[in-house]
């Protein structure tokens, strides 16, 4: 905190001396990089420092610090591990990056919190040519400084216009807040590692999506330049609309599974709720469709075009089906599917590069469905607010259970909080890598390769037990997602932010490579206008979906 105040006052005092201000900013990046950048941006916004001075000083300081980490690895070599500067696991992970691509490793680590130190030290240990490293590191620091500094100047300038005489105190408070957040996050991580305890949530699990995915944007742009196509992932699965990235039909994807593999898929039927039809007519049509397809309650109802668990509900009887159809938008397609009675759920992300005979499992996620247990005294609302994790999603849970949130569950009564196996709907995700046995990998590969022109996707399935699943048995697929699927194990509370980004970066690298290979085979990605049209159409449609349970 004292450092932040000292930096802001010192740089402000050097107003009119750009060389001195730039030197101060450069030196202070060696102590706290991000707070110094934000503080410089606020000084620019307040007219106390020029943008050029801040940009040059910060860039030189950051690049100098990066090169210092490289030199540390180059000259210290194996001693860095013995000194405790970096642990072997992180060092080996960073070293693997350089084995694939120096440029992407250095650029990515600049935008991945916690990865810069091990990556740059690894560059020195591996004796990456100093000139090549410095060129890439400078480019990365220029990009990072330009983005963060510009955002701070723009946002800070708008805020300072309204701050009046409180400009300097508010600016100092913001810099202190950033530094304190970084310190608090590191302290929290060290405490859990020391105590061996599992955190209830990760430090980034409930960030706004725009903030969490912001570092992915420059990586996506880099991959677009490298492969000469910004929407190549939409060519990953030529048999699916837009590769399964946006606007795809769940029913159409399930229909691609050949008959000999249908035993692994839960029975389902897709149909359109006719516009203008009365609710009685819609219910009668649904009953006839269920009879023709031998579907009986309980069922799961969900939109045929949907993402992130939107509009998913279990249906126990015809009354709940009627309620669902009343809330479902006219003219849209929906799916009725057998409710699989197995107690566990998982998501398995699989891919196969075009031209290769076999695919592989990229990620396995175990899904848990949170619940609270009554004590005969507190209301459901009080139980939710008392749970350390549930209270973080209280808006989702309380809205879903608004009709009974003031009820008092009996002692020992278990009240499920969510049905849909989606993180944004309140499900808990765990890394299930230990389930990816050779038998399960072979089974998933067999099913996936039977789907024509399918190269990347996630199989959401219910299973009876982990033992059976590891043998490639005792599971039923309820949904297949395409290129828009994510390696959802990153939402495990034990996952570090840097590791989560590393997984996402690897996932998109694979998607772009698949898309590039398919383009060479004659398949084309959707155009930007098609993509935007599908996106807007889905958003309009999803606004009318029933509430998820």
Confidence (pLDDT) at 197:
56
Within 8 A by CB and 6+ apart from 359, the residues are: 350, 351, 352, 444, 445, 448, 449, 455
Under 8 Å CB-to-CB from 478, ≥6 apart: which residues?
Answer: 266, 300, 337, 340, 460, 461, 462
Instruction: Spell out the per-residue pLDDT of the chain, length 549, in tens.
Output: 455 556 666 676 677 788 888 888 888 777 677 777 777 877 887 778 888 888 888 888 888 888 888 887 777 655 555 555 555 565 565 555 555 556 666 766 666 655 677 777 777 777 777 777 777 777 777 877 777 777 777 665 554 444 444 444 544 454 455 455 555 555 555 554 455 556 777 777 777 787 788 778 878 988 999 999 999 999 999 999 999 999 999 999 999 999 999 999 999 999 999 998 899 999 999 999 999 999 999 999 999 998 888 899 999 999 999 999 999 999 999 999 999 999 999 999 999 999 999 999 999 999 998 899 999 999 999 999 999 888 888 888 888 888 888 999 999 999 998 887 777 778 899 999 999 999 999 999 999 999 999 999 999 999 999 999 999 999 999 999 999 999 999 999 888 877 888 899 899 999 999 999 999 999 999 999 999 999 999 999 989 999 888
In a domain, 262, yes or no: no
User: Rounded to an integer, what distance in angstroms lies between the CA atom of residue 212 and that of residue 168?
Assistant: 29
- 9 lies in some domain: yes
- Other beta carbons within 10 angstroms of residue 219's beta carbon come to 20
Cβ atoms of 64 and 27 closer than 8 Å: no
What single string gives the DSSP state of each residue in 442-498?
HHHHHHHHTSTT--EEEEEEEES-HHHHHTT-SEEEEEEE-TT---GGGGSTT--HH
Domain containing residue 85: 2-195
Residue 225 belongs to a domain: no
Q: Is residue 463 part of a domain?
A: no
* DSSP class of 235: G
How many whole angstroms separate alpha carbon 286 and alpha carbon 290? 6
Asked if residue 124 is part of any domain, the answer here is: yes
Rounded to whole angstroms, the Cα distance separating 245 from 534 reads 10
Q: Across 183-255, where does the E strand assignment appear?
A: none
Collapsed DSSP state (helix, strand, coil) of residue 205? coil
CA separation for the pair 455, 461 (Å, rounded): 18
Question: For 121-141, what is each residue's pLDDT tens digit?
Answer: 777 777 777 777 777 777 777
Count the domains in the chain: 1
Crossing angle of the two packed helices 216-227 and 102-111, in degrees rounded to 10: 160
pLDDT at residue 221, as a whole number:
85
Q: What is the DSSP string of 17-82?
A: -HHHHHHHHHHHTTT-HHHHHHHHHHHHHTTSS-HHHHHHHHHHHHHHHHHHHHHHHHHHTTHHHH
* Beta carbons within 8 Å of 181's beta carbon, 6+ residues apart: none
Residue 329 tokens, joined: 């938008």
Buried b (16+ CB within 10 A) or exposed e, 221-243: ebbeeebebbbbbbbbbbbbbbb
Reported as a single tens digit per residue, the pLDDT across 239-281 is 999 999 999 999 999 999 999 999 999 999 999 999 988 999 9
> Quick one: which H or E segment has residue 337?
strand 333-338
- pTM for this model (two decimals): 0.70
Q: How far apart are CA 254 and CA 8, in angstroms?
A: 59
Q: Are 24 and 7 in contact (CB under 8 A)?
A: yes
Q: Summarize pLDDT for 138-167 with one digit per residue, the tens.
A: 777 787 777 777 777 766 555 444 444 444
CA 279-281-283 angle, 5° bins? 70
């Amino acid at each position: 905190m004292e450092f932040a105040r000292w930096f802001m006052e010192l740089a402000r005092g050097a107003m009119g001396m750009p060389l001195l201000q730039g030197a101060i900013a450069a030196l202070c990046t060696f102590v706290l990089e991000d707070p110094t950048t934000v503080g410089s941006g606020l000084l620019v916004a307040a007219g106390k420092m020029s943008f050029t001075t801040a940009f040059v000083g910060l860039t030189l300081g950051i690049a100098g610090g990066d090169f210092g980490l490289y030199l540390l690895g180059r000259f210290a070599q194996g001693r860095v591990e013995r000194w405790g500067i970096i642990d072997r696991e992180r060092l080996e992970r960073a070293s693997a990056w350089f084995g694939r691509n120096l440029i992407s490793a250095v650029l990515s680590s600049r935008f991945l919190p916690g990865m810069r130190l091990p990556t740059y030290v690894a560059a020195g240990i591996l004796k990456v040519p100093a000139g090549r490293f410095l060129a890439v590191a400078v480019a990365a620091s220029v990009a990072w400084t330009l983005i963060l500094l510009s955002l701070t100047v723009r946002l800070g300038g708008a805020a300072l216009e309204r701050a009046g005489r409180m400009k300097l105190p508010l600016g100092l408070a913001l810099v202190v807040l950033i530094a304190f957040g970084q310190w608090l996050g590191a302290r929290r991580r060290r405490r859990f590692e020391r105590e061996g305890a599992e955190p209830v949530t990760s430090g980034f699990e409930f960030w706004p999506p725009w903030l969490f995915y912001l570092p992915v944007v420059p990586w996506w742009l880099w991959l677009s330049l490298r492969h000469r196509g910004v929407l190549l992932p939409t060519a990953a699965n030529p048999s699916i609309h837009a590769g399964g990235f946006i606007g795809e039909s769940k029913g159409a994807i399930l229909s691609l599974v050949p008959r000999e593999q249908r035993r692994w898929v839960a029975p389902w039927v897709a149909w359109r709720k006719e516009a203008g039809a009365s609710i009685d007519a819609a219910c009668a049509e649904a009953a006839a469709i269920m009879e023709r397809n031998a579907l009986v309650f309980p069922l799961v109802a969900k939109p045929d075009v949907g993402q992130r668990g939107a509009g998913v509900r279990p249906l126990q009887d015809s009354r709940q089906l009627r309620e669902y159809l009343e809330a479902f938008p006219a003219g849209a397609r929906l799916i009725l599917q057998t409710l699989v009675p197995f107690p566990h759920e998982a998501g398995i992300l699989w891919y196969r590069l075009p031209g290769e005979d076999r695919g592989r499992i990229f990620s396995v996620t175990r899904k848990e469905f949170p619940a609270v247990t009554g004590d005969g005294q507190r209301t459901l609302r009080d139980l939710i607010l008392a749970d350390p994790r549930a209270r973080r999603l209280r808006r989702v849970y309380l809205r879903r259970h608004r009709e009974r949130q003031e009820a008092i569950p009996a002692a020992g009564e278990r009240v499920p909080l969510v049905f849909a196996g989606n993180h944004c709907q309140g499900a808990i995700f765990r890394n299930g890598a230990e389930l990816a046995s050779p038998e399960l990998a072979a089974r998933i590969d067999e099913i996936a390769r039977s789907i024509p022109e399918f190269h990347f996707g996630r199989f959401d399935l219910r299973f009876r037990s982990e033992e059976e699943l590891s043998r490639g048995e005792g599971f039923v697929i309820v949904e297949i997602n395409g290129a828009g699927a994510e390696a959802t194990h990153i939402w495990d509370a034990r996952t570090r932010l840097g590791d989560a980004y590393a997984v996402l970066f690897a996932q998109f690298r694979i998607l772009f490579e698949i898309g590039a290979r398919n383009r060479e085979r004659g398949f084309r990605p959707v155009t930007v206008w098609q993509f935007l049209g599908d996106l807007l159409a889905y958003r309009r449609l999803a606004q009318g979906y029933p509430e998820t349970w």
